[in-house]
Structure 1
Amino acid sequence: MIDRSAPPIERSDAKGPGPASRTLAGFIFASRWLQAPLYLGLIIAQAVYVVLFFVELWHLIETAIISGHISETDVMLSVLALIDIVMIANLLIMVIIGGYETFVSKIRVTGHHDEPDWLSHVNANLLKVKLAISIISISSIHLLKTFIEVGRMDGGIVTDASGTVIYSSDGVMWEVLIHLAFIVSALALAWIDRMSKDPHEKHDTATRPATVAPAATAAAAPAAAYAPAETGTGEYVTVRIPAGAPLPDGAEVVR
């Protein structure tokens, strides 16, 4: 039962959050900068990988050229180790730049000739897919190194000079299974990213406004215009007409 004797509820005409709410929201939004030191730490880790790369490269040069006691298989394994370091460095760059762009602050390099192609449309889902692909590439390098080593497998194991077991049949099987798990995970992430997109978001010529040629070249190029569709849904269709021709009824030139 409604108590009609109660005083009416007074409503404020003020719109938007109050000062306390805005301050709290600003503080929470500014907390994203706590992630900045994490990306700085990844930059230091990448510097360590740069040093490690040149150490491995010097070891390869010293063994192959100076000593002259190295086989083709050893050269291939050393080169794969260098490629592995480069792939991890690429992964670090993707995490540093993409993560900072997505979760901390925009990196304003639009128009720069060195701007990565993926940076203009990076988001959390795209970043996860690219990271998964990078992890698969790194796993492939490790698996290739394993396949080269198991070529000298004896009795189901591979040992080093000191007799320590470095590869076994069970270990190789688990490496293959883990690699397949990475592939399945990447496919699942790509599928989830595809399913999460708006199905009405279509980038075709029927929904994008057309570009009109500049006035200086308008006589030589066809003009572009769009008019309301006959369906009455408020959508637009692209209509291309020769330059200088009259526009159809209800059409307007896109500037």
Structure 2
Amino acid sequence: MKRIERGFEHLLFSSRWLIAPVYLGLVIAMLILLVKFGKQVWSLSANVLSAPGTEIIIGVLSLVDIALVMNLLIIIILSGYENFVSKMDDLKDHDDRPEWMGHIGFSDLKIKLIGSIVAISGIELLKAFMNVDALSDRHLAWMLGLHITFVVSGLLFAMMDKLTYRAH
């Protein structure tokens, strides 16, 4: 019976590798975002002399938005892989290894995730307000409501984290 239990536990533990292709899919998503980023830079460059200032600012905010999403994906891919699949021991002494690698736990990952979502939502809200004439009041209200929800959620996550940390 103990042998069956041990085999089952090894099967469960090995199942963590099922998420590895998901991280590879996120890398592919980053490539797609890189193409979108390049398209946006090309569009901004081509219209820099003829586009109004607000359009340039909205374009730049879109670039910042893509950069934030890509940064978030890097954090999710690397910390998720290290937390849930396997340690990257071969990269431990690599000069370019980020300091946070190997130190971000699931709780830290949640806080970084919600922080990034708040930042992305804030940029989208700013873009909307810069183009306020094209949107209905209802649409703006929904965007503002969602942003406030993200901010409050982030604060609640941080408070729960602090309470949990204090309890330990």
Q: TM-score, normalised by structure 2?
A: 0.92
1:118 lines up with 2:100 in the alignment:
yes
Note the residue ranges of structure 1 that are not aligned, 5 or more in a row. Answer: 1-16, 159-166, 201-255
Task: Determine which of 120, 127, 138 is the counterpart of 1:138.
Answer: 120
Task: Determine which of 101, 104, 108 is the counterpart of 2:85.
Answer: 104
Residue 20 of structure 1, CA deviation? 2.1
* Map 1:169-208 → 2, pairs under 5 A: 169-197=137-165, 199=167
Q: Which residue is 1:222 aligned to?
A: none
Residue type matched to 1:148 in 2?
M
Identity %: 39
Q: Which residue is 1:84 aligned to?
A: 65
**C-alpha contact 2:79 2:102 (8 A) present in aligned 1:** no
Q: Which residue is 2:130 aligned to?
A: 148
Residue 198 of structure 1, CA deviation? 5.7
Residue type matched to 1:117 in 2?
E
Q: Give structure 1 regions of 4+ aligned residues with deviation exceeding 4 angstroms.
A: none
Residue 175 of structure 1, CA deviation? 1.0
Cα distance 1:111–1:199, how it changes in 2: closer, same or farther (>3 A)?
farther
Residue type matched to 2:50 in 1?
H
SS of alignment partner, residue 30 of structure 2: helix
- Measure, in 1, the Cα distance between the counterparts of 2:99 and 2:157: 21
Q: Which has the higher relative contact order, 1 or 2, with Cα contacts under 8 A spaced 6 or more apart?
A: 2
SS of alignment partner, residue 120 of structure 1: coil
* Greater Cα offset, 69-78 or 29-38: 69-78
Deviation by residue 1:130-173 (Cα, 9 ceiling, x = unmatched): 000000010111011111112xx3xxxx2xxxxxxxx1112112
- Measure, in 2, the Cα distance between the counterparts of 1:193 and 1:114: 29
Task: Determine which of 19, 42, 51 is the counterpart of 2:3.
Answer: 19
Q: Which residue is 1:56 aligned to?
A: 40
RMSD after superposition:
1.6
Residue type matched to 1:99 in 2?
G
SS of alignment partner, residue 113 of structure 1: coil
SS of alignment partner, residue 115 of structure 2: helix
Q: TM-score, normalised by structure 1?
A: 0.62
Note the residue ranges of structure 2 that are not aligned, 5 or more in a row. Answer: none
**Which structure features the higher share of helix residues?**
2
The number of residues matched between the two structures is: 167
Residue 195 of structure 1, CA deviation? 1.8
